[in-house]
Structure formats: structure tokens, C-alpha cells
């Protein structure tokens, strides 16, 4: 009996342990299912994040392409602006040259006719007498110390007007063209190679040989004289390149900007003085050129004609 009871007890314990293990296994299986579900949810999240990252990468690539395109357009704009500036400088100088040519022709025509008329009047026999009379009347009328009766003054004024009509070119100032000599004087400071200051202006060609009625020659000589007076003798001669008169002065030990400004002021003052001496109204505009533009417009060592 004892053995049977032991067997029954052992069997009952085994069945109880087996049931407990079954419950434990069931619990573990449920845990595995939860972890699997959690893993699946995490994988879904990772997939969503990866999708977002892929989209962000595509956005970055597209933005970079746009950036490259913008940079390319900026380079195109810079290149176009550079070329347009070069063209603007060339066309401005060319326009100044053509406009100056027109005024020069007017100047030459007016002065030639004036000189011809003067020569004709001087060749006449009674011109000297009329000039004497004119200047005597002028002196008499301007003499405030001698009282002149009104009737006599009126007669003298009338006589002076008559004489003025006959010998006007001999006592009147020479005529000047109606137009205004307008020009743009460009200047720059080149640092490449030997630092140099450059000043350029569009001037028409002077006659060969030049004459007293040659406005371009007068302007060129005046500007060069001013450069010599203000900077000193021995300065390089101006050169002509495609109709543009170019002054190029090595900066030496001075700052290139300062040398360019001095050269520009000297050329501008000379042109103004020469134009004033010729009786031609003058309007000059100074424009500082970027060195990149100036290097393209005024290449060094080009085919230039030295004066």
C-alpha cells in the first residue's frame, strides 16, 4: 500500500509540475508574440523614417542642383555684365569720338571761314583806317574822364556799329561751334604686371599735319601739356588705339590709385583748358573703371599708335 501511495503522489506531483510548465510555456509564447508585434511596429517606423530620409536626400540633391544652376546663372550674369560693361565703355568712347568729330568739323569750318574773312578784310585798302577809327572810338567811349554830349555819343555809337559791321571779324572774337564738346574720361589703376595708371578719352583723329583749326590736335596737345606740367617732363607719350587716346603712366613707388587719380585730373584739366582756349564749351565726365574691365578694353602691348 505504501508503494502505491507513493506512486500516486509522485504521479500527482508530475502532473502538477507539468501543468505549471505548460502555463509557463504559454506565458513565454505570449511574450514572444508581444515582442514580435513590437518588432514589427518598430520595423514599420524604421521604414517610415527611411522613407523620410530618402525624400530628404532627394530634396537635398534637387536643391543642390538648383544651387548649381543658380551659380551658373550668376556666372552667366557676371560674364554678361562684364561684356556689357566693356561694350558700354567702347561704345561711349566711340560715341565721344564721333561727336567730337562733328564738333571738330564745325570748328574747322567756322574758323576757316573766319580766317578767310579776316584775310580778305586785311587785304582791303581802307581796313587799317577803319580799325584805327574803331579803336579810337572805343577808347573815346570808354574814357570816363571826358564828358561826351549825348548827340555825339549817339553818333559815335552808330559809327562804331557801322564799323563793326564792316570789319567785325577783325575785332570780334572768333566763332565757336554751337555744340558742346562732351567726353567721358575713363581712368583706372592696373595692378597686374607693372602697376600703372591709365586714362583714356575718345578723341577724333587730328589732321596730318595738324593746323590751328584742328580741335582734336589742340585738345591732345593741351592734355599732354597739362600732364607734363603737373606730373613732370619725361612722362610717357599718349598712344592712340582704335580711335581712343590712352595715357599710361607707371605708378612707380606711389599708390596706383593715387597715380591714376593724378593722371586723370591732369588730363581732364588739360582738355578743359584747351577747349576753353578754343572757345568751345566743354563737359567732361570722369568714370573710374574696374581693373578687369580696363584690362579688357585697353590690353597692354596691343597695336597702338604712338604719337
CB of 160 closer than 8 Å to CB of 137: yes
In the bound complex, what is the minimum distance in angstroms from residue 99's beta carbon to other proteins?
18
For residue 177, give every residue at least 6 positions away whose Cβ sits within 8 Å of its Cβ, in sequence order, or none.
103, 106, 107, 110, 280
User: Shortest distance, CB of residue 307 to other proteins, whole angstroms?
Assistant: 5
Please tell me the distance from the alpha carbon of residue 232 to that of residue 253, in angstroms, as a whole number. Answer: 15
Please count the residues of this chain forming the interface with other proteins, following the rule CB under 8 A: 37
Q: State the minimum distance, in angstroms, from the CB of residue 159 to other proteins.
A: 21
Alpha helix positions (H), the chain: 2-123, 127-142, 150-171, 215-231, 256-277, 291-297
Question: Which of 162, 277, 283, 285 touches other proteins (CB under 8 A)?
Answer: 277
- Listed ranges 39-47, 143-151, 168-176, 248-256: which one lies at the site for other proteins (CB under 8 A): 168-176
Question: What residues numbered 57-86 form the site for other proteins, per CB under 8 A?
Answer: none
Contacts of 275 (CB under 8 A, 6+ apart): 181, 219, 222, 281, 282
Is 188 in contact with 291 (CB distance < 8 Å)? Answer: yes
249 DSSP β-pair partners: 197
137 contacts: CB under 8 Å, gap ≥ 6: 156, 159, 160, 163
Tell the smallest beta-carbon distance from residue 145 to other proteins (Å): 25
- C-alpha grid cell for residue 276? 576753353
Q: Could you say whether residue 133 binds other proteins (CB under 8 A)?
A: no
The contact pattern for other proteins, residues 195-234, with x = CB under 8 A and - = no contact, is --------------xxxx-x--xx--xx-xxx-xxx-xxx
**Least distance from C-beta 103 to other proteins, angstroms?**
14
Of 189 and 280, nearer to other proteins (C-beta) is: 280
Is residue 189 within 8 A of residue 197, CB to CB? The reply is yes
- Provide the minimum distance between the beta carbon of 136 and other proteins in the complex, in angstroms, as a whole number: 16
Q: Report the residue from 279, 288, 291, 304 that binds other proteins according to the rule CB under 8 A.
A: 279
Does 36 help bind other proteins (rule: CB under 8 A)?
Answer: no
Judged by CB under 8 A, the chain residues 231 through 250 that form the site for other proteins are: 232-234, 237
3-state secondary structure of 183: strand
Question: Which range binds other proteins by CB under 8 A, 29-37, 49-57, 240-248, 265-273?
Answer: 265-273
Name residues whose C-beta falls within 8 Å of residue 153's C-beta, 6 or more positions apart in sequence: 141
Q: How far apart are CA 41 and CA 168, in angstroms?
A: 112
Binding residues vs other proteins (CB under 8 A): 122-123, 127-128, 170, 173-174, 176, 209-212, 214, 217-218, 221-222, 224-226, 228-230, 232-234, 237, 269-270, 273-274, 276-279, 281, 307
Amino acid at each position: 500500500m505504501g508503494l502505491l501511495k507513493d506512486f500516486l503522489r509522485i504521479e500527482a506531483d508530475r502532473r502538477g509540475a507539468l501543468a505549471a510548465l505548460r502555463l509557463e510555456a504559454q506565458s513565454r509564447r505570449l511574450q514572444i508574440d508581444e515582442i514580435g508585434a513590437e518588432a514589427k511596429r518598430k520595423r514599420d517606423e524604421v521604414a517610415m523614417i527611411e522613407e523620410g530620409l530618402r525624400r530628404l536626400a532627394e530634396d537635398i540633391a534637387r536643391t543642390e542642383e538648383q544651387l548649381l544652376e543658380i551659380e551658373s546663372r550668376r556666372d552667366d550674369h557676371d560674364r554678361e555684365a562684364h561684356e556689357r560693361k566693356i561694350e558700354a565703355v567702347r561704345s561711349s568712347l566711340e560715341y565721344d569720338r564721333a561727336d567730337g568729330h562733328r564738333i571738330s568739323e564745325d570748328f574747322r569750318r567756322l574758323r576757316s571761314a573766319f580766317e578767310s574773312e579776316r584775310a580778305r578784310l586785311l587785304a582791303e585798302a581802307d581796313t587799317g583806317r577803319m580799325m584805327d577809327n574803331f579803336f579810337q572810338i572805343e577808347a573815346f567811349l570808354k574814357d570816363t574822364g571826358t564828358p561826351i554830349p549825348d548827340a555825339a555819343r549817339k553818333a559815335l555809337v552808330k559809327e562804331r556799329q557801322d564799323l563793326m559791321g564792316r570789319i567785325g571779324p577783325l575785332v570780334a572774337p572768333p566763332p565757336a561751334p554751337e555744340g558742346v564738346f562732351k567726353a567721358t574720361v575713363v581712368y583706372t589703376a592696373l595692378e597686374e604686371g607693372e602697376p600703372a595708371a591709365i586714362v583714356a578719352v575718345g578723341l577724333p583723329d587730328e589732321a596730318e599735319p595738324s593746323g590751328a583749326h584742328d580741335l582734336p590736335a589742340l585738345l591732345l596737345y593741351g592734355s599732354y601739356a597739362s600732364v607734363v606740367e603737373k606730373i613732370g617732363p619725361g612722362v610717357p607719350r599718349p598712344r592712340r588705339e582704335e580711335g581712343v587716346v590712352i595715357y599710361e603712366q607707371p605708378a612707380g613707388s606711389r599708390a596706383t590709385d593715387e597715380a591714376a587719380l593724378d593722371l586723370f585730373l591732369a588730363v581732364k584739366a588739360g582738355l578743359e583748358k584747351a577747349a576753353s582756349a578754343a572757345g568751345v564749351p566743354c563737359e567732361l565726365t570722369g568714370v573710374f573703371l574696374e581693373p578687369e574691365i580696363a584690362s579688357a578694353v585697353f590690353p597692354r602691348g596691343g597695336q597702338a599708335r604712338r604719337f
